[in-house]
């Protein structure tokens, strides 16, 4: 973990301190939580890009899902598709006229 210094105005500092006391945690934990929730999607995207770049640099370390599961002694149950009954098709019904308009006469 790295250290980061953040400057807060006095009121925010006191409010954060009170919140941390009420939540029985530290101010730093609250700040980390707020950052994680606020930038969750962006941080996930950055971490995924970093993982992909690492895979490109070291392709010999990449394992397939099958290899991973075999190493862990896991098995995925095979999915057996039951035969399905054919669906009945709906037949389009002829259009009905709406209101008192006559067929083919444009609206005004």
The dihedral through the CA atoms of 37, 41, 46, 52 has a sign that is positive
pLDDT of residue 27: 96
14 domain-assigned: yes
Structural domain of residue 44, as residue ranges?
10-72
Q: Residues 71, 63: contact at Cβ < 8 Å? A: yes
- Any domain includes 91: no
The model's pLDDT over 84-95, given as tens digits with 9 standing for 90+, comes to 777 777 766 766
Task: Confirm whether 108 is domain-assigned.
Answer: no
Residue 33 in domain: yes
pLDDT at 18 over 90: yes
Look at residue 83 and tell me if it is in a domain: no
34, part of any domain: yes
With respect to residue 105, please indicate whether it lies within any of the assigned structural domains.
no
Query: Structurally, how many domains does the chain consist of?
Result: 1
In a domain? residue 89: no
Cβ–Cβ under 8 Å, residues 20 and 29: yes
Q: What pTM was computed for the model?
A: 0.53
- Average pLDDT of every residue of the chain: 84
| pLDDT for 76 beyond 90 | no
């Amino acid at each position: 973990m790295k250290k980061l210094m953040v400057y807060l105005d006095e009121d925010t500092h006191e409010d954060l301190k009170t919140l941390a006391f009420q939540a029985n945690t530290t101010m730093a934990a609250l700040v980390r939580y707020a950052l994680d929730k606020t930038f969750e999607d962006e941080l996930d995207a950055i971490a995924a890009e970093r993982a992909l770049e690492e895979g490109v640099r070291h392709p010999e370390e990449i394992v397939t899902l099958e290899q991973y599961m075999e190493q862990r002694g896991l098995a995925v149950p095979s999915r057996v598709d039951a035969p399905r009954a054919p669906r009945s098709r709906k037949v389009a019904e002829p259009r009905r006229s709406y209101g008192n308009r006559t067929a083919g006469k444009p609206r005004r």
